[in-house]
């Protein structure tokens, strides 16, 4: 299935495609249930530069060992070695690309891997553009989301790929994952965003991500679409696990609206409060935090200049995001920390 993305490479031409990673300010584990999210594309990005055409995709990477060498068309992306090549193969497979649609080049990236900054989505979107794929951001994102699932078996939502494709400089994106409507929300000048690593690496393939999604779907079978479900109906779900999962999705969507409104009003303490409440819900109702992430968020919340903090992305390790005043320096907190700025989405340059 090639969605509505058209692949029109120009054999022999050299291209450079760049796609940003993202940090999610609020709204986690809502996208795959058709809920709201508020991610921001960041100034850490993945670039694929190469020559289009030929019958193979051959790529090196400055972040990982091994050369990805795929003959077109590709078989099952999940068997490709080295493992980062599975994301490349996923895009090639979902794009239905055969001989003539190849690419020879190199991947370079500043997006840290396994940190909750969507390095895989950035790679997929950059590869798609470098292969000559063209489409609206939501179409690009749909193809890449399916590529991610084909590569890893993880039934992920659309947030990461859509944010990478549709990013707007200086803005976070309020995304309705049901309609795929994207509304840019300016990040106030007197706010800074930090991503702080807990020191715990993780991959979603080995996590309980798929279990959480199944639990949410079981809850939605009982009370209807979770983002709009009636709170009393959610309260009457008998199974306590399904009840908590549903309560998280419903309340997280409310918090996304609150935080988007707070950023628009430049009310950073209200935005920070929504982030702290989100972390508590991900910890207690959704159970995707870890002791390290909880300790990190507590430390951040107690740091002067921090308005709020929460785990970001899927959880089970990875990073926390903090909203701070511009002069705050968090570079010595956690295992590693990055100050990130809201960046534009993916783009292609023909060299
Ligand atoms: C991962 C997935 C996203 C989303 C988040 C949790 O990043 O790829 O689709 O579900 O987890 O919000």
Q: Which residues pair with 23 in a beta bridge?
A: 40
Ligand 1 near 31 CB (within 6 A): yes
Whether 103 contacts 131, CB under 8 Å: yes
Q: Residue 28 CA: which ligand 1 atom is closest?
A: 12
Cα–chain center distance at 88: 17
For residue range 20-75, list pLDDT tens digits in order. 999 999 999 999 999 999 999 999 999 999 999 999 999 999 988 889 999 999 99
For residue range 165-188, list pLDDT tens digits in order. 999 999 999 999 999 999 999 999
Is there a catalytic annotation at residue 233?
no
Ligand 1 center to 239 CA (angstroms): 24
79 has pLDDT over 50? yes
Ligand 1 near 29 CB (within 6 A): yes
- Residue of the CA atom closest to atom 12 of ligand 1: 28
Helix (H) or strand (E) holding 89: helix 85-94
pLDDT at 66: 86
For residue range 242-266, list pLDDT tens digits in order. 999 999 999 999 999 999 999 999 9
> What are 291's two structure tokens?
């002791």
**Alpha helices, H only, the chain:** 85-94, 119-130, 137-152, 159-166, 209-223, 231-235, 240-264, 268-284, 291-301
pLDDT at 81: 95
343 has pLDDT over 90? yes
Ligand 1 center to 113 CA (angstroms): 15
Name the CA dihedral angle for 244, 249, 253, 259, rounded to a multiple of 10 degrees. Answer: 70
Q: Strands 14-26, 6-7: parallel, antiparallel or unpaired by DSSP?
A: unpaired
Q: Which of 31, 138, 160, 285 does the annotation list as catalytic?
A: 160
Distance CA 150, CA 155 (A): 9
Whether 219 contacts 248, CB under 8 Å: no
């Amino acid at each position: 299935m090639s969605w509505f993305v058209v692949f029109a490479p120009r054999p022999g031409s050299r291209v450079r495609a760049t796609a940003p990673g993202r940090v999610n300010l609020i709204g986690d584990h809502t996208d795959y249930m058709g809920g709201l999210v508020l991610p921001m594309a960041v100034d850490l990005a993945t670039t694929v530069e190469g020559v289009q055409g030929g019958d193979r995709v051959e790529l090196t990477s400055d972040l990982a060992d091994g050369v990805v060498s795929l003959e077109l068309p590709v078989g099952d992306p999940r068997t490709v070695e080295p493992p980062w090549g599975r994301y490349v193969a996923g895009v090639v497979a979902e794009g239905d690309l055969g001989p003539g649609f190849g690419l020879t080049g190199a991947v370079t990236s500043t997006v840290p891997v396994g940190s909750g900054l969507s390095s895989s989505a950035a790679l997929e979107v950059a590869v798609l553009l470098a292969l000559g794929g063209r489409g609206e951001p939501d179409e690009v994102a749909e193809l890449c989301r399916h590529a991610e699932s084909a590569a890893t078996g993880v039934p992920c939502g659309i947030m990461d790929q859509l944010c990478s494709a549709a990013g707007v400089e200086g803005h976070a994106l309020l995304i309705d994952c049901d309609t795929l409507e994207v509304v840019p929300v300016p990040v106030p000048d007197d706010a800074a965003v930090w991503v702080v690593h807990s020191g715990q690496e993780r991959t979603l393939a080995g996590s309980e991500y798929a279990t959480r999604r199944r639990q949410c779907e079981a809850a939605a079978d009982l009370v209807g679409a979770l983002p709009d479900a009636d709170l009393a109906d959610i309260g009457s779900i008998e199974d306590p696990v399904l009840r908590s999962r549903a309560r998280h999705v419903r309340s997280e969507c409310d918090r996304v609206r609150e935080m988007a409104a707070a950023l628009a009003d430049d009310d950073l303490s209200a935005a920070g409060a929504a982030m702290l409440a989100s972390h508590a819900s991900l910890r207690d109702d959704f159970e995707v935090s870890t002791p390290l992430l909880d300790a990190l968020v507590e430390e951040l919340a107690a740091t002067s200049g921090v308005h709020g903090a929460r785990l970001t992305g899927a959880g089970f390790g990875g990073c926390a995001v903090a909203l701070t005043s511009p002069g705050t320096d968090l570079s010595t907190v956690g295992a590693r920390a990055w100050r990130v700025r809201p960046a534009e989405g993916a783009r292609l340059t023909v060299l």
